[in-house]
Amino acid sequence: LYDFTAEPGNVELTVKEGETITVTNANIGGGWIEAQNSRGETGLVPEDYIEHLTLPAIILQFPLRLFQASNGNDPWSVWNSDPSRGSNNNWAPSAEGNQTGRNAPEPWSSGTHSHPQAYQGPGAEDDEWDDEWDEMKSTSGYSEPGEGGAIQRGGTHASSMKISLNKFPGFSKSGPELFLLCKQAAKGKEKISIYLGEVGPVWFYPEAQLDCIVADPKKGSKMYGLKSYIEYQITPNTTNRPVNHRYKHFDWLYERLLDKFGSAIPIPSLPDKQVTGRFEEEFIKMRMERLQGWMTRMCRHPVVSSSEVFQLFLSYKDEKDWKMGKRKAEKDETVGVMIFTTIEAEAPDLDLAEVEQKCEQFSRFTKAMDDGVKEILTVGNEHWKRCTGPLPKEYQRIGKAFQNLSSVFTSSGYQGEATLTDAMTAAGKTYEEIAQIVAEQPKKDLHFLMETNNEYKGLLGCFPDTIGVHKAAIDKVKEADKLVNTNKITAQDKVTMAKRASTMSYALQAEMNHFHSNRIYDYNRVMQQYLEEQVKFYETIAAKLRHAHSQFTTM
């Protein structure tokens, strides 16, 4: 709005009237904001000197974020406002970052710092994250301030939105009405089909399922070695041609998918941005495993995996091609609720009651499953702690006690002591081995049970947003009569709205059916694997003890 000249030697930033700057931190306070200009310079600028630009992408993301802001800490309360459960429901779609409290699964809490500021280890790896952080800001435009608040990135954007509902009274240019009342369906080549399958509405599934392998993390560097990063190799089964991507590319992809599909399809957060401290290798391995899990889930999704932006990510050719693709993806306007314009359901329209009933059913289910999954994580985490802490210590002490008594016996000077003492020492050592086996077991079984449930926790955390969009659409359609009566919309608009709500419901049903089929597959697999490893565990111990037993003389 006005010229502002920074005081020399200060942290301020000089701006000119009409210059476009990017707000990097709106929470400075004292009438200041932190911003970056087009030359990459960052500094403080008086809040009153600038005016917020509103970009279409941001508007379209509003519906997603609206419900979280409007419902306080409990996104589920859209449907279920039982206040007695409120304290348990302090979660958000990408709320891993909020789970650092008492109930956070400990082996999983290593993934809870999504903010580079949390970094307190030695500086070696600092660059990577700063680099990712900075570049992300300048390329994705995602740190643009929204209405009245900065939209933060990735993991925390939803819960940090502080937009009050009363800025969108009745009708607004955002929200599901944008789709419900848009003049015509998008004319792009994009088309997402829904069929009526055996289980109800289903997405169109490609014949060959896309899959990819995330492997071979390598340290790279740029700026003459000043900045270092880890590059992962991603090999799709379609091309079998590996492409390399850094975490920040995954993050960019995530943001694009969230923008584009988030209203219809839960896009789970990436494994958290994290600082490594001393356990770099273990961390990289864990991140790779989780990136693999995320990619597998995205590949499995027929709509996501066939999208242009996802294909771009998997078919990286050269930097130029990549940058062009990126720019195109960032300009995509079929994002937010507009994704529904591309959906075509080959089925009769649903009436509103049915739409609402389905929506409520899904909401109840995902909420209940979220509770169930969290229970497993809590219990599993306690079990993990016991199995790696006190339990092996106890077996070790039992083993030591046997061995100590055995060595006392050896000192007896009595003849014919050796068979007993050898056997007792062996028994003692067996219990020390058991201690080791017990301590290492969680990595073999509980780990996958926890990882799968953690993934589902993330996935389920996306549903309140997705369901919230539907709920808002339903509410809007319910208002239709009143709107017709007050001449705000025409009778034809009302018909269109109902039809489009039906389309949205088909999308939600297709997505739920996709979710269910994946869930059944995943839980079958993880339970089988868990039990298989548990059987091996008990059998191994039994065999060891049987051997120890055989060394005592029979009388």
Binding site for a copy of itself (CB under 8 A): 198-199, 361, 364-365, 368-369, 371-373, 375-376, 379-380, 382-383, 386, 390-391, 394, 397-398, 400-402, 404-405, 408-409, 411-417, 419-420, 423-424, 427, 512-513, 516-517, 519-521, 523-525, 527-528, 531-532, 534-535, 538-539, 541-542, 545-546, 548-549, 552-555
Could you tell me the smallest distance in angstroms from the CB atom of residue 423 to a copy of itself? Answer: 7
Of 329, 346, 316, 268, which is closest to residue 515 (Cα–Cα)? 268
Query: 281 or 382: whose CB is closer to a copy of itself?
Result: 382
Structure tokens at 219: 């340290």
CA atoms within 13 Å, Cβ hemisphere of 507: 27
Helices (H), 82-185: 106-109, 126-140, 157-160, 177-180
Residue 167 or 546 with smaller CB distance to a copy of itself:
546
Nearest alpha-carbon partner for 201 in 365, 369, 363, 355: 355
Sheet holding 200-203, edge to edge: 200-203, 192-197, 343-345
Least distance in angstroms from the C-beta of 388 to a copy of itself: 13
The terminus-to-terminus CA distance of the chain in angstroms comes to 98
Nearer to a copy of itself, 400 or 443 (CB): 400
Q: Which is nearer to a copy of itself, 282 or 539 (CB)?
A: 539
Query: In degrees to the nearest 10, what's the CA dihedral of 70, 74, 76, 81?
Result: -90
Which of 323/393 has CB closer to a copy of itself?
393
Q: Are 259 and 57 in contact (CB under 8 A)?
A: yes
Upper half-sphere CA count for residue 2 (Cβ side, 13 Å): 8
Q: Which of residues 119 and 409 has its CB atom nearest to a copy of itself in the complex?
A: 409
Q: How far is the CB of 386 from a copy of itself (least distance, A)?
A: 6
Contacts of 288 (CB under 8 A, 6+ apart): 214, 215, 217, 232
Q: Which is nearer to a copy of itself, 180 or 265 (CB)?
A: 265
Burial class (CB in 10 A: 0-12, 13-18, 19+), 197: middle
Q: Which is nearer to a copy of itself, 287 or 470 (by Cβ)? A: 470
Whole-number Å distance between alpha carbons of 383 and 390: 11
Q: What minimum distance in Å lies between the beta carbon of 436 and a copy of itself?
A: 16
**Which residue, 29 or 416, is less far from a copy of itself as judged by CB?**
416
Distance, CA of 67 to CA of 469 (rounded, Å): 8
In the complex, least distance from residue 236 CB atom to a copy of itself, rounded to whole angstroms: 22
Q: Which class for 184: exposed (0-12), middle (13-18), buried (19 or more C-beta within 10 A)? A: exposed
Q: Which is nearer to a copy of itself, 408 or 491 (CB)?
A: 408
Q: How many CA atoms lie within 13 A of 290 on its CB side?
A: 26
Query: Measured from the CB of residue 523, what is the shortest distance to a copy of itself in angstroms?
Result: 6
Residue placing its CB nearer to a copy of itself in the complex, 186 or 405: 405
Paired tokens of 334 = 């079929």
329: which 2 tokens? 């993806």
- Residue of 105, 71, 106, 76 whose CA lies nearest to 88: 76
Nearest-approach distance from CB 369 to a copy of itself, in angstroms: 5
CB of 356 to a copy of itself, least distance (A): 15
Q: Is 358 annotated as a binding residue?
A: no
Closest among 352, 143, 175, 196 to 263, alpha carbons compared: 175
Nearest-approach distance from CB 425 to a copy of itself, in angstroms: 11
**Does the annotation flag 287 for ligand binding?**
yes
Residues 6+ apart with CB under 8 A from 393: 435
Please identify, using beta-carbon distances, which residue of 52 and 400 lies nearer to a copy of itself.
Answer: 400
Strand arrangement of the beta sheet that strand 243-246 belongs to: 212-222, 227-236, 243-246
Q: How far is the CB of 552 from a copy of itself (least distance, A)?
A: 5
The CA radius of gyration of the chain, in Å to the nearest whole number, is 28
Q: Are strands 212-222 and 200-203 parallel, antiparallel or unpaired?
A: unpaired
Q: What is the DSSP letter of 183?
A: S
246 is in an annotated binding site: yes
The packing angle between helices 352-388 and 491-550, to 10°, is 20
- Token couple for 204: 């169109």
Question: Minimum CB separation from a copy of itself for residue 460, in Å?
Answer: 11
Selection from 377, 314, 333 nearest residue 102 by Cα? 377
Distance in Å, CB of 10 to a copy of itself, minimum: 56
Give the annotated binding-site residues.
246, 248, 287
